[in-house]
Chain A
Amino acid sequence: MDQPIWLTFLVAFIFMNVLLIGMAYMTWYERKVLAAMQDRVGPNRTGPKGLLQPIADGIKLLGKEDLIPANADKVVFYFAPLVVFVVAITRVAVIPFGNITISIFGQTINLWITDLNVGALFLLAFGSLGVYGIILGGYASANRYSLLGGLRSAAQVVSYEIILGLSLVGIFLLSSSLSIRTIMEQQTRDLIFALGPLTLTLPNWFILSQPLAFVIFFLAAVAETNRAPFDLPEAETELVSGFHTEYSAFRFSFYFLGEYINMIIVSLFAAVLFLGGTDGPGADRFWGIGILWLLFKVIVFLFFYIWLRGTLPRFRYDQLMGIAWKVLLPLVLVNVLITALIRLIGNGQLRF
């Protein structure tokens, strides 16, 4: 279990760089999928199949002029995009890419950075910190549209954060743990349904025992990452581009990076909590296959993100809040109640 600290730093360094490259190719993936949905070709000029497009975009953004509005609150304006980016990338620390230690070059390496006792709460906590970058950016720009975008984002995140947290309570109850590694490990077991003569053996993925929670988690995650159809903080039709109207060049790119990294993190989060993580056929034979399964699940989840963006129009602001408080919150509370009851009956602590 224990490994020297330099090795942990090395693993963290690799994870972060993989995440950054993944983010760059996430933009390529999104543009290609959207193009296919809208019957276009998508990026195809830079490199084969447009594969070098993300790199060209990155260089372009770095080369642009960095503008700061005259009335801006300068220090806050400088740091706000960094908050979004740093907080987003820190969240990868508690996500395990496999449940075993591997041996390379005589070193045993953990496939996770840290196995925090409250890993799931850590992810939620840092998710709620990210919104500071957005609201501070909106405030510091000294622009009415930016401020409105920031305010919207704050209200949206405060509402959907509750739902995101509550949708996971069912899993915590079933697995009696907040540690993501433990939760992932429990999903490699079998779930056996016995209906008379028929027995059905399924993997114990929490999407099967918590389907409602998964749907609610997905909706709340879309809202939490400010993505269409819940991208009210940057609604172009009403707010120019919301909280990042005044941002340009690499400050803008930090917001952009933060948003996409958050999407990838949320997908990883869903994969390890609901979809069995690295579990899949052949995953117990070699750790690499487990990582490929995890990657596959993340890509499917990201595809849903893009699918939503490609098909649904943006919600109106009061509809967004109405869905959160009047539909999703009661549903998720009922889910918690039922799960707790079933858990009590299963433990034999409640008899009729």
Chain B
Amino acid sequence: MAWNLLFFYLLGGISLLAAIGMVVAKNPVHSAIFLVLTLFNTAGIFVMLGAEFLAAAQVIVYAGAVLVLMLFFLMLIDPQNLPERGGGHPVQRIIGPLLGVILLLEVAAAIANRAVSGTTGNATPENIAFVGGSTQAFGNLIFTQYLFTFEVVSLVLLIGVVGAIVLALPERLGERLSTISLGHPRGTDAALPEGTGAAVPVTRADRQATAALEATREVILVRDPDAYTEVKSR
């Protein structure tokens, strides 16, 4: 038992310290590392509670999610030009701490109102062992009692995916196929009219522009990079 307690305090302590570090760290990449550390240690606590499935799902889902978050930092933020601490819009500076305090009060109220003497559910260790483990018990619940909620959550996620695709879609699909490479020195050619380099749509105008060149040597117009590798002689 003493070992359990020690590991609990270790995991809990690290996850708390990492959570503080996440808020305090100036570099967003460091914040992301602290976030992963917090989530990982929380997963460890889940394992100690016997909820292995929850722990594995937590690591799989959040590891991927935080990774994408980190990609955003690396691609969108200039590390030499980070904002100063305490900067930002004045409204943000008031609302931010206010929301934090409200959240803290909420959590404190929830803990204070915890029904210590309330009835325990039927998820006792014996019942869980009877169905074969926490994964099985979890699956039984999610696909029977909470099926409707589960389906609603899946639908919300699906809408998110569809929304992301719609946002990423080019305005008109037909005009996006565009790489053009000309002639045997692959790529752009000084002899061509300006603007016929790479990433210009293959249009009738391009064909007319290259028509004169085609008389002197072989000119290849392709619509995508894969066609580029197949050089056929005409």
Interface residues of A (CB under 8 A from B): 73, 76, 116-118, 121-122, 124-126, 128-129, 131-132, 135-136, 139, 147, 150-151, 154-155, 157-158, 161, 165, 178-179, 316, 318
Q: How far is the CB of A217 from chain B (nearest CB, A)?
A: 17
List chain B residues, Cβ under 8 A from A178.
53, 135
Nearest neighbor of B74 in chain A, beta-carbon distance: A139
- Contact A116/B52 with A76-B29, A136-B33, A147-B74 known, Cβ cut-off 8 Å: yes
Is there contact, CB below 8 Å, between A121 and B53? Answer: yes
Interface check B220, CB cutoff 8 A = no
A73-B27, A129-B59, A165-B60 known; 12 new pairs, CB 8 Å cut-off, are A118-B52, A118-B55, A122-B56, A125-B59, A128-B67, A135-B67, A135-B74, A136-B29, A139-B29, A150-B74, A151-B74, A157-B67
Residue contact A158 to B225, C-beta cutoff 8 Å: no
Check B45 for interface membership: any CB of A closer than 8 A.
no
* B52 surroundings in chain A (CB, below 8 A): 116-118, 122
Complex-state Cα separation, A215 to B134, whole angstroms? 31
Q: How far is the CA of A348 from the CA of B47 in the complex (A)?
A: 36
30 A–B pairs (Cβ distance < 8 Å), ordered by A: A76-B29, A117-B52, A117-B53, A117-B134, A118-B52, A121-B57, A122-B56, A125-B59, A125-B60, A125-B63, A128-B60, A128-B63, A128-B64, A128-B67, A129-B36, A129-B40, A129-B63, A132-B36, A132-B63, A135-B74, A136-B33, A139-B29, A139-B74, A147-B74, A154-B71, A155-B71, A161-B60, A161-B64, A165-B60, A178-B53
Let me know if A124 and B70 touch, CB within 8 A. Answer: no
Given A117-B133, A117-B134, A117-B135, answer yes or no on A158-B53 (Cβ-Cβ < 8 Å). no
Q: Is the interface of B mostly helix, strand, loop or mixed?
A: helix
Give chain A residues whose Cβ lies under 8 Å from the Cβ of B30.
Answer: 76
A129 to B39 alpha-carbon distance, docked (Å) = 12
Q: Tell whether B169 is near chain A: CB-to-CB under 8 Å.
A: no
Contact across chains for B29 and A121 when beta carbons are under 8 A apart: no
Asked if B56 and A125 sit within 8 Å, CB to CB, the answer is yes
- Bound CA–CA A135/B33 (angstroms): 11
* B22-47 to A contact mask, C-beta < 8 Å, 1/0: 00000101100100100010000000
B198 contacts A by Cβ under 8 Å? no
